[in-house]
Amino acid sequence: MHKAGIPDSCIYIDKQSGKDFNRTNYQRMLRRLRSKDVLYILSIDRLGRNYVEIQEEWRNLTQRDIDICVIDMPLLDTRVGKDLMGRFIADLVLQILSFVAQNERENIRKRQAEGIASAKARGVKFGRPELPLPDNFSDAKRAWENKKITLKIAADQCNMSVSTFYYKVKKN
């Protein structure tokens, strides 16, 4: 972006996945874009990963008279080739690359699901390890079950939230 002469104040970086357009910095950037601005994107998959949504977003931006330059794909630069042939080539390349981006997203999800299933089959546990029950859990549970104390008091005695205490009671 710096090589393209873009000042830091005009660079928006998303830390969120590009799976959709509900990204805080992306939305902030869209609100700031005006007619005749140029939007530089490093790669089309940084714009999004859904074939239809990429096409829609591209159309919305260009209809607002915002030029788009995809840095790693010079054919996707709406500032050049504004004639019919140039637009046709850019649209064709955009369709191919947005298809590839969505396909890659689907492949990633599939491989991720396969990896999780494989890990679970090997006995890998996900998430934080469970904390051991406090020594007074059985007493607090019994007092609560016998209606001697409220759920809130029982949970407080065990230094747990009400929902955690209730979950542990059901589990044990």
**pLDDT mean values, one per 10 residues, the chain (172 residues):** 83 71 84 92 79 84 89 84 76 84 88 95 91 94 95 96 94 86
- Asked if 45 and 104 touch (Cβ cutoff 8 Å), the reply is yes
77 and 152, same domain (yes or no)? no
40 and 101, same domain (yes or no)? yes
User: What is the extent of the structural domain holding 162?
Assistant: 137-171
The pLDDT, as a whole number, for residue 16 is: 66
Q: Give the strand pairing for 67-70 and 38-41.
A: parallel
The pLDDT, as a whole number, for residue 148 is: 95
CA 21 to chain centre: 9
Does some domain include residue 17?
Answer: yes
The structural domain count of the chain equals 2
Query: What tokens appear for 49 in the block?
Result: 């990963």
55 and 95, same domain (yes or no)? yes
The pLDDT, as a whole number, for residue 163 is: 95
Sign of the torsion angle spanned by Cα atoms 18, 22, 28, 31: positive
The pLDDT, as a whole number, for residue 50 is: 79
Query: What tokens appear for 5 in the block?
Result: 């002469």
Query: What tokens appear for 32 in the block?
Result: 């700031």
